[in-house]
Amino acid sequence: MCGIVGYAGKHHAVPYLLEGLEKLEYRGYDSAGIAVNEPDAIRVIKTRGRIGNLESLIASQRHSDATVGIGHTRWATHGKPNDVNAHPHLSEHGLFCVVHNGIIENYLSLKAQLIADGFHFASETDTEVIAHLLEQNYDGDFVSTVRKTVAMLEGAYALCILCRDFPDSIVCTRWASPLVMGKNSDGVFLASDVTAILKHTDDVFYLDGREIALIENGALTFFGPDGAAGEKQPKHIDWSVSAAQKDGYEHFMLKEIMEQPKAIQDTVSPRISSDKRIVFENFHLTDDEIAHLNRIVIVACGSAFHAGEVGRYVLEKMTRIPVETAIASEFRYRDPVLDSHTLVIVISQSGETADTLAGLRLANEKGAKTVCIVNVVSSSIANEGGSVIYTHAGPEIAVATTKAYSAQVAVLYLLSGYIADRKGLLTDDARKTYVDALLKLPDLIDQTLRDCDDQMKKFAELFIPMEHAYFIGRNLDYACAMEASLKLKEISYIHSEAYAAGELKHGTISLVEKGTLVVALAACSDVFGKTMSNIKEVKARGARVLCVSTSENAAAMNEVDFKVIIPDTLPLFAVTLEVLPMQLLGYYTAKSRGCDIDKPRNLAKSVTVE
């Protein structure tokens, strides 16, 4: 969840640090700070609030000529967001300075021992423990001291460290939290997310777990957990610099909503062969292993979990294998029954989601087959999965996901068709019909966005004064309702819930009264009539109903107050179209209510802590 940046090179460090922090502010915006190595001391400047507060504070102080520095933007975990708890953190006598993403689980016992040894703590954070341990373990060798210190830590961490005795150096290491670095003729750049350094280089090095990197005088040296120096090849990033900028849009969220046709095109098209078969790179399940699968478990969090709910319906229908979805934060604590005939699919935009990564590791330990759906190349989940299928959504900056969610659903469509085909469940005609419909989705998404944009601006006005709203649907429509409800609540702060429409009469309908807003998702033709019956139930209690369905059902939507019509497609794919007006509804409602759309309160983009 927090953001880390660093620079060591030929130029003044502060402008590079601030530029990087601005690009990472979506990862945390409770407080921010920088530290630079000056001739006689490590200078720290930090403050509560947004990056703008930090920029004003720096502007009010004397200029720094330092060419080496680190920075951090925080999403608070240990200690309230204030100046003292903001990163970076200094050690007892200012010898070391640390920025940290993650959580140190044994920090209380380490802190107690350090206090007994005479160290004093200024903050409530777990990070300050690391700074003091570095000073206590200092042996005159920067890298050796870091290795000795991290061996004492339990939990997740990405660390960037300055040492007063090594003014031209930064040492970095990580476990279960990302770090990436790259270099050009101006110096070495590092960050917790590649978007912060894309402007300077698109060839980057991803730090492996418990690997240590030494940045010294413009050079990068990598050390394995055993201390041995080794070679490392850079990865080329295809994302453009403009993909991480607003390009004239008022918010990243709206830009990313409108990028969905390209995201789906880039995700689907490379996986379709000339003979209309689905193909994957980095996919290692054999036909024999697929034939012997007797269960599929989808593990994810948040919107990725909602994508998994779509996948549950589609996979089960297409492959005839029982499928369940599991919230990652609950999955490993229930001692799940997994074996070599189980396929565990883990989904994460960042590839670093802590609970999802833990679920993947558990699946690997139990001998299950694993497939990972991620957006970030060489992320932890991508590196540890048995097979990996990348979504090609490009960088997603807004905290509320849109294009990454849709790309995840597209991959689940691909995977469902692939497994069904490998099991011999599809005729040639059925396979080609399925694939042709997949290839048409980008154009249908573009059409839906164009048709619905003005309409959803108007409908957003209904939600402005609301404190409660409800979303209902059946089958795939219910899966979409969960994502639609989340989009509204997380950026507009309207209390919103999604319910299986058939469950209304089992208690939920007691919440419906005159004027209640209900959004009914009704694109599934098999249960359209049933959903219309549920709409009548809420209408009888005084609800106003906004209904989303396909053009073939438009004439039958005579019970609703407001209609949104999406194009016809294969029934399994309709959810990809009906989520689009719901994304726009959330966006325009939040905008009308004056909310901070790209940076909703209490939320951050990448959840790398439990």
Mean pLDDT of the chain: 93
For the whole model, what pTM was predicted?
A: 0.84
CA-to-CA distance for 88 and 33, rounded, in angstroms?
A: 6
Q: Tens digit of pLDDT for each residue in 121-148?
A: 999 999 999 999 999 999 999 999 999 9
Q: Are strands 517-521 and 544-550 parallel, antiparallel or unpaired?
A: parallel
Mean pLDDT of 358-382: 94
pLDDT at position 607, please?
65
Which residues, other chains included, contact 118 with Cβ-Cβ below 8 Å and sequence gap of 6+?
Answer: none
Provide the edge-to-edge strand list for the sheet that holds 495-500: 495-500, 468-473, 517-521, 544-550, 562-566
pLDDT at position 554, please?
83
pLDDT at position 226, please?
86
Q: Tens digit of pLDDT for each residue in 510-567?
A: 999 999 999 999 999 999 999 999 999 999 999 999 999 998 888 778 889 999 999 9
Q: Would you say residue 204 lies in a domain? A: yes
pLDDT at position 557, please?
85
Mean pLDDT of 347-364: 94
pLDDT at position 568, please?
95
Q: Tens digit of pLDDT for each residue in 28-81?
A: 778 999 999 998 899 999 999 989 999 999 999 999 999 999 999 997 777 888
Q: What is the pLDDT confidence band of residue 24, given thresholds at 50, 70 and 90?
A: confident
Q: Would you say residue 18 lies in a domain? A: yes
Residue at which a domain ends, from 217, 237, 257? 237
Per the CB < 8 A criterion, the answer to whether 67 and 8 are in contact is: yes
| Four-CA torsion 358, 362, 367, 373, nearest 10 degrees | -30
Residue at which a domain ends, from 237, 258, 274? 237
pLDDT at position 239, please?
76
Q: Would you say residue 414 lies in a domain? A: no
Reading the block at residue 329, the tokens are 């934060």
Number of neighbours of residue 19 by Cβ within 10 angstroms:
19
CATH number at residue 105: 3.60.20.10
Instruction: Describe the crossing of helices 403-422 and 428-463 by its angle, rounded to 10 degrees.
Output: 160
Is the pLDDT assigned to residue 380 strictly greater than 60? yes
CA-to-CA distance for 178 and 158, rounded, in angstroms?
A: 6
Q: How many residues does the chain have?
A: 610
CA-to-CA distance for 384 and 470, rounded, in angstroms?
A: 39
CB burial readout 536-571, b (16+ within 10 A) else e = ebbbeeebbbbbbbbeebeeebeebebebbbbbbeb
Reading the block at residue 357, the tokens are 């990564």
Collapsing DSSP to helix, strand or coil, 603 comes out as coil
Share of the chain above pLDDT 90, in %: 81
Q: Are strands 68-74 and 31-37 parallel, antiparallel or unpaired?
A: antiparallel
Is the pLDDT assigned to residue 1 strictly greater than 70? no
Q: Tens digit of pLDDT for each residue in 515-526?
A: 999 999 999 999
Is the pLDDT assigned to residue 605 strictly greater than 70? no
Catalytic residues: 2, 605
Q: Would you say residue 34 lies in a domain? A: yes
pLDDT at position 608, please?
57
Q: Which of 307, 278, 296 is nearest to 436 (CA)?
A: 278
Which residues, other chains included, contact 82 with Cβ-Cβ below 8 Å and sequence gap of 6+?
Answer: 31, 48
Q: Which amino acid is at 162?
A: L
Q: Which of 209, 137, 138, 218 is nearest to 182 (CA)?
A: 218
CA-to-CA distance for 416 and 409, rounded, in angstroms?
A: 10
Is the pLDDT assigned to residue 468 strictly greater than 60? yes
Helix ranges (DSSP H) in 201-340: 252-258, 260-268, 287-291, 302-319, 328-331
Mean pLDDT of 8-34: 91
Collapsing DSSP to helix, strand or coil, 350 comes out as coil
Mean pLDDT of 309-316: 98
CA-to-CA distance for 246 and 101, rounded, in angstroms?
A: 26
CA-to-CA distance for 27 and 445, rounded, in angstroms?
A: 28
| Four-CA torsion 232, 164, 135, 74, nearest 10 degrees | -70
Q: Tens digit of pLDDT for each residue in 94-120?
A: 999 999 998 898 999 999 999 999 999
pLDDT at position 357, please?
94
Q: Would you say residue 464 lies in a domain? A: yes
Mean pLDDT of 201-211: 91
Per the CB < 8 A criterion, the answer to whether 467 and 495 are in contact is: yes
The dihedral of CA 162, 163, 168, 171: what is its sign? negative
Domain residues for 487? 450-594
Collapsing DSSP to helix, strand or coil, 607 comes out as coil
- List the beta bridge partners of residue 203: 236
Q: Would you say residue 405 lies in a domain? A: no
Which residues, other chains included, contact 88 with Cβ-Cβ below 8 Å and sequence gap of 6+?
Answer: 33, 34, 35, 44, 46, 70, 71, 72, 97, 98, 99, 162
pLDDT at position 243, please?
67
Number of neighbours of residue 124 by Cβ within 10 angstroms:
13
Mean pLDDT of 161-185: 94
CATH number at residue 496: 3.40.50.10490
Residue at which a domain ends, from 167, 202, 237? 237
CA-to-CA distance for 591 and 492, rounded, in angstroms?
A: 8
- Domain count of the fold of the chain: 2
Which residues, other chains included, contact 55 with Cβ-Cβ below 8 Å and sequence gap of 6+?
Answer: 18
Q: Would you say residue 377 lies in a domain? A: no
Q: Would you say residue 270 lies in a domain? A: no
Q: What is the pLDDT confidence band of residue 231, given thresholds at 50, 70 and 90?
A: confident
